[in-house]
Structure 1
């Protein structure tokens, strides 16, 4: 389905809605509780051909969960509108929906990423020309490489979940390889790491 009409929860696709559950502790009993349960909030990009939903972020490693410091830091970062693809010194878990036929721009993040296909199929294209066709359950371990995602289906949306972790600056053959969003992803803020 390639329509750009928003679905419930702000999604663009016809894929199932997703829900985020954040756990914590009851202060009086120390027992685990669900602190919040919310539907994913989606942000459309690139003429409604791609949508992001940031599930959660951390801003230090290891994360500080005391007194809900991580929750407060996440909420503050999300309200700042300054989050790039990567969160410097932290992590990001982000869900991305790709429209049928959509090809995102070639890009590189300064991060170690795990990309898991949840729905549909998608091609991972590397700047070397290597192409890997990925199906539901396949995982890409992106190690600060230049890549793009291509949904080759003419009719079906694809959905991936990404966990991005900041990494030390990468040197390959004496050359520094930092973040490069390319000309096609210029609508995204730079990560600043």
Structure 2
């Protein structure tokens, strides 16, 4: 069940004390889903003198506590993976931090989950459906979704993959 990403290369240019211009490897949480960690911080405000590449460690679903995460994502069409994966395996492959809520009995979508993050998500290419508990929203190239800690999942119902960039920012749980 391999999904060909073709000649996709992501170039990451880092400025500052320690400079870098390199191609970043694409990490697969599953053979059908690709994610590239572009930059990660472990504090807010972020340190501009951070020398270590925190993305060099294992893939994680959420940023570190008080941190941020810049991520490139590629979702295949649902027809490629539905019925062939188990939600707990998907999130297990993404290094679940234990802070996220994974809904293994989700009625709306088998990959329903909730992170305690504020996410800025920009659709670069394709079309994807943001699935929430009570609604669905179709997003296309150029659209931006501000995801504020809600339970959600993603669905590509067409025949073409969807490419997105997401900034995840650690957030406090809502006070009820």
Q: Shorter-chain TM-score: which interval?
A: 0.7 to 0.9
Q: How far is 1:136 from its partner?
A: 0.5
- Which ranges in structure 2 are unaligned for 5 or more consecutive residues? 83-109
CA-atom RMSD, angstroms?
A: 2.2
TM-score normalised over the length of structure 2 = 0.75
- Given candidates 45, 55, 58, the residue that maps to 1:62 is 45
Give the TM-score normalised by structure 1: 0.69
Distance 1:121 1:131, change over 3 A: same
Q: CA deviation at 1:16?
A: 4.1
Mapped to 2, the partners of 1:145 and 1:36 lie a distance apart of 35
Decide whether aligned partners of structure 1 residues 23 and 83 sit closer, same or farther in structure 2, where only a CA change above 3 A counts: same
| Structure 1 position 14, deviation (Å) | 4.0
CA-to-partner distance for each residue in 1:117-141, whole Å, 9 max, x for gaps? 011111111011x111111010000
Match of 1:161 among 140, 165, 169: 165
CA contact (8 A) 1:13 1:157 kept: no
Once the two structures are TM-superposed, the CA of residue 169 in structure 1 deviates from its matched residue by 1.8
Structure with higher Rg: it is 1
Are residue 110 (structure 1) and residue 116 (structure 2) matched?
A: yes
- Equivalent-residue separation in structure 2 for 1:44 and 1:82 (angstroms): 9
Residue deviations 1:45-81 (CA, integer Å, cap 9, x gap): 23x111110000111111111xx3x232xx2x43442
- Alpha carbons of structure 1 residues 109 and 149: separation in structure 2 relative to 1, 3 Å: same
Q: Which one of the candidate residues 10, 29, 38 is aligned to 1:18?
A: 10
Tell me, yes or no, if the aligned pair for 1:22 and 1:37 is still in contact at 8 Å.
yes
Report the CA distance shift for 1:15/1:127 in structure 2 as closer, same or farther (over 3 A): farther
d(CA) in 2 for partners of 1:112, 1:49 = 25
Give yes or no for the alignment of 1:147 onto 2:124. no
Return the alpha-carbon distance in structure 1 between the equivalents of residues 138 and 124 of structure 2: 14
Aligned residues: 147
Aligned equivalents of 1:135, 1:16: Cα separation in 2? 20
3-state DSSP of counterpart to 1:84: coil
Q: For residue 35 of structure 1, what is the aligned residue in structure 2?
A: 19
Classify 1:144/1:45 alpha carbon distance in 2 versus 1 (closer, same or farther; 3 Å): same
